[in-house]
Every structure is written in C-alpha cells, then in structure tokens.
Amino acid sequence: MLNSNSAALVACPTCQTKTPWTKENIDRPFCSARCKLIDLGAWASESYSIPQQTSEEDEIFSADLVIDPNKSFL
C-alpha cells in the first residue's frame, strides 16, 4: 500500500519518464503538456492503428459493392 504522503509513479506514455499520479499533475498520465501534444499529434496523423487482416471473404464480397457516382451519401 502507498503511504498518504507518497504518490504512485507512472511512466509517461510518450517519453517513459516517471511522473507522479497526483491531482497537481494536470497532464497525467503524461509528464508535461509537450508529451501530451506529441501523443495527440500521433493520434491525429493515425500513427496508432490496429492492423487488419484481410480474408478471402472480404475480396469476394467487395466485388459486389458497386459505387453509383450519381448517388450521394450525404
């Protein structure tokens, strides 16, 4: 257990610097606003993604999808 005087230290997701998890650290779990913005930029540029595996079914059914240029989806 943690003492009431000590705070849990967590690794910043961007730079891995150990930073306290306290109410005073407004950037938690990041160590600074700079690291928070770096992470936001990575999300915005789609650097974080889950790889998708394609299957034969995807290829079979994608041939059925015909795009009508005269039809609007908005």
Is 29 exposed, middle or buried (CB count within 10 Å of its CB: 0-12, 13-18, 19+)? middle
Any idea what DSSP says for residue 22? S
7 is in an annotated binding site: no
35 is in an annotated binding site: yes
12 is in an annotated binding site: yes
Residue holding tokens 């770096």? Answer: 38
31 is in an annotated binding site: yes
Binding region for Zn(2+): 12, 15, 31, 35
Binding residues: 12, 15, 31, 35
